[in-house]
Amino acid sequence: MNRKDRSWQIGGWLVLMGLLAACAAPVAAPPSTADTDAVGATPAAETAAMPADPWYTAAELTYSWINICTDTPPQYGGTLISAGEDRAMTTNTWFDASPTNQYLFSQLVDLSTELEIVPDVAERWEGNADNTGYTFYLRQDVTFHDGQPLTAADVKFSLEMLYHEDVGSGITGLIPLAKIEGAAAIDAGSADEMSGLVVVDDYTLQINFTEPVYNLVDSIGAFNIWPQHLLADIPFAQLRDSEYAKKPVGSGPFRMGEFVPEQYYVFEAFDGYFKGRPYLDSIVFRIGMTDSVAWIAALEKGEIHVGGTILGADRERLRENPAIRLVGAAIPGAFSIWPNTERLDKRVRQALMYALDRQAIVDGIFYGGTQATVWEYKSADPKGEWVGPETPEFPYDPERARALLSEAGWDANQELAFVSYYTRDTDQAAQAAMQQYWADAGIKVRIETMDSGTWGTRVYEQADFDLAQGCCGPANWIEFQQWYSCDTLYPDGWNAPRYCNAEVDNLVNAAVSEADPQQRQTLLHQATVMAADDLMTMGLWSENRMTAVRGEVCNFRSRQWAEPFPAMLPETWYLAGQ
């Protein structure tokens, strides 16, 4: 070929080389210590000497749920772009989102990522002797985004709004609103306000209950404090269509900015936030970016800073990427199977558990246990507050499984129906593995996948299943009482395993009204031991739920525990390199 052709050819090769080089150059991120291999708190490892005026503690360095940037101190400025998964609103309707929004609103108390209850708007609180009345003393420097001060009247209004049937924001299960004095009058229609909510003065609120309520503080943080002065005039049934709904006003670290339905919304820093102005200037949430391909590609490219959570091969990919950090920890609830307790004998249920080598599944399918860990009942309550230490465990024991089956007179030709709507690749691999373990033990299981609405009908309305794959299992004792008692069998409730054990119900009911905390704990322990032995839910493994973020999102924290979820403290996040 002639010289002109040749120079084109050489030029082409150079361009190609350039492109390859550009691809290969890794994107460097500031060094940080969110250890992407370990989950939970790692023992205090050998680290470089902390700076003179540290912005973190030695303990925080060991937590897998905070991304500490050891090189860059906190700095103001920057816009964070988020795929919107981590408990942000991902649809267009505010009132259907998760119970607490930590960006726009404040709560009375917060659950910290270290799983302690800490003050937020309420500085301190006290309960009376028989736990029928609580008094909350509020801070006096909290204001809403429009400058109006937040007072006890707003708190009272918020609780009444939540109890109203037109609002239905869905958190009424966590806080025992129905037990507040005056709730019955509201139900009857004879009152608009709850007499049990007493505004003692602008910054003191008293809540009086009709019966003793223990550990109210554990759940009282599960609602946002709404501004009475903006909402009192709007009929609750029209809240969704109101102007307020498009631009909510709260007292949180960020205020509502632009909102383009289906696309994105923007939060802007609130200068008057009582804990101090957030470091970030603004946060942009992209709506609907739930597909993992979309946010992983965007995160790798740097189009977004905060991604979502994921399991499987892609999580490995993110873990190996030096520019990305995985932030989070194990969740207390397990990926579970609900057995149809009316169809399956207790010994068969136990056999099904003993037949599974869950450690092998977790090691093989969940990348050597980095993505999930085997779950026993105790995992839901590490401190032993409600789950008894003697709750049985179900290690891999195929011999015992077969013995139980023959004891129960099991017919090996019978086929159990396993219904599921989970179709992620890790789920499918796990289902295939479980099916084989069961087959090896002599139990034939047919796996049926269906869409979620059909699953709901099969499990609840028709109870036509043997094993149903569901999520999470009881994460606290309130759920225990509300989902799995004899009173909540469909259609009176949503008791998927159709579990009805009168003894357990009696124990739990006694515990609820028991004054002595020690005795209460004993009762709960007894109840959980019995329920675990009955295999009310077959908890398999718990996920190490980690949110993927870019390394430069410093102080990002995320942990999913029982609801209300631990506070993410978005006001403390900052972007390195601004």
Partner 1 sequence: MSEPSELPTPIAAAANPPPRTVAHPPSLWRQPALRRFLRHRLAVAGTLFLLALCIITFPLAPVVTQGNPNRVDLRAVSQPPSWQHPLGTDMAGRDVWSRLIYGGRISLAVGLVAVLIYLTIGIVLGSIAGYVGGTVDAVIMRITDTVMAFPGLIILIAIVALIGPGLFNTMLAIGLMGWTGVARLVRGQILSLRAMDFVVAAQGVGVAMPGVIVRHLLPNVVPQILIAASFGIAGSILSEAGLSFLGLGVQIPTPSWGNMLNAAQSIQIIERMPWLWLPPGLLITLCVLAINFIGDGLRDALDPRMSHKA
Partner 2 sequence: MNRYILQRIWQSLPVLLGITILTFAFTELAPGDAVTAMVVGGQRQEMLRNQDAATLRRLYNLDQPAPVRYLRWLRELLRGNMGQRLITRTSVADDLWRHTIPTVQLMGAALLLSILLGIPLGVASALHQYSLYDYSSTLLLFAAVSVPGFFAAIGAIYLFAVVLGWFPTSGYATAGATFDSHLALVADRVRHLALPALVLGLSSTAGIMRYMRTSMIEALHMDCITTARAKGLPERVVIVRHVLRNALLPVVTIIGLHLPELFGGTIIIETIFNWPGMGILYLDAVTMRDYPLIMSIVLVSALVIVLSNLLTDLAYGFIDPRIRYE
Q: Which residues bind partner 2 (CB under 8 A)?
A: 19, 23, 79, 81, 92-93, 96-99, 165, 168, 170-174, 178, 240, 258, 261-264, 266, 282, 284-286, 288-289, 291, 293-294, 297-298, 300-301, 303, 421, 451-458, 460-461, 471, 482-483, 490-494, 563
Under 8 Å between Cβ of 106 and 225: yes
Residue 514 engages partner 1 in binding (rule: CB under 8 A): no
What DSSP state is assigned to residue 548? E
CB of 492 to partner 2, least distance (A): 5
DSSP code for 149: B
170 binds, among partner 1, partner 2, none (CB under 5 to 8 A by kind): partner 2
Contact string (CB under 8 A) for partner 1, positions 318-357, x = contact: ---------------------------------------x
Structural tokens at position 288: 């609907």
Return the number of the residue (43 or 368) whose C-beta is nearest partner 1.
368
Nearer to partner 2 by Cβ, of 43 and 453: the residue is: 453
Query: Which listed option, partner 2, partner 1, none, makes contact with residue 282 (CB within 5 to 8 Å by class)?
Result: partner 2
What is the secondary structure of 498-509 as a DSSP string?
A: ----HHHHHHHH
In the region spanning residues 353 to 382, those forming contacts with partner 1, defined by CB under 8 A, are: 357, 360-361, 363-365
Instruction: Confirm or reject binding of residue 293 to partner 1 (CB under 8 A).
Output: yes
Answer whether 499's CB lies under 8 Å from 346's CB.
Answer: no
Q: Which of 562, 488, 477 is nearest to 528 (CA)?
A: 477
Question: What phi, psi does 290 have (nearest 5°)?
Answer: -95, -15
Q: Min. distance of Cβ 396 from partner 2 in angstroms?
A: 30
The DSSP secondary-structure symbol of 318 reads: H
Of these, 406, 414, 436, 513, which contacts partner 1 (CB under 8 A)? 436
Q: Measured between alpha carbons, how far is residue 353 from residues 382, 395, 397, 421, 451 in Å?
A: 22, 8, 9, 21, 26
Residue 262 contact among partner 1, partner 2, none, beta carbon within 5 to 8 Å by kind: partner 2
**What tokens were used for 436?**
């084989």
d(CA 483, CA 498): 10
Tokens at 541, concatenated:
């493994």
Nearer to partner 1, 409 or 453 (CB): 453
CA distance 32 to 71: 7
Which residue is listed with tokens 């958190």? 171
Report H helices in 164-307: 183-188, 216-219, 228-231, 243-246, 292-301
CA atoms 31, 33, 38, 44: torsion sign: positive
Minimum CB–partner distance for residue 42 and partner 2 (Å): 30
Selection from partner 1, partner 2, none that 483 binds (CB < 5 to 8 A by kind) is partner 2
Which of 30/173 has CB closer to partner 2? 173
| Count of other CB atoms within 10 angstroms of residue 290 | 12
Instruction: Give the pair of three-digit tokens for residue 360.
Output: 């092998």
**How do 334-339 and 467-472 pair as beta strands?**
antiparallel
Token pair 């009929």: residue: 235
Is 313 an interacting residue with respect to partner 1 (CB under 8 A)? yes
Cβ closest to partner 1, residue 363 vs residue 533:
363
- Identify the residue among 96, 165, 390, 425 touching partner 1 (CB under 8 A): 425
Q: Which of 433, 486, 500, 530 binds partner 1 (CB under 8 A)?
A: 433
44 binds partner 1 (CB under 8 A): no
Residues that bind partner 1 (CB under 8 A): 292-293, 296-297, 312-314, 316-317, 357, 360-361, 363-365, 421, 423, 425-426, 428-429, 431-433, 435-436, 446-451, 453-454
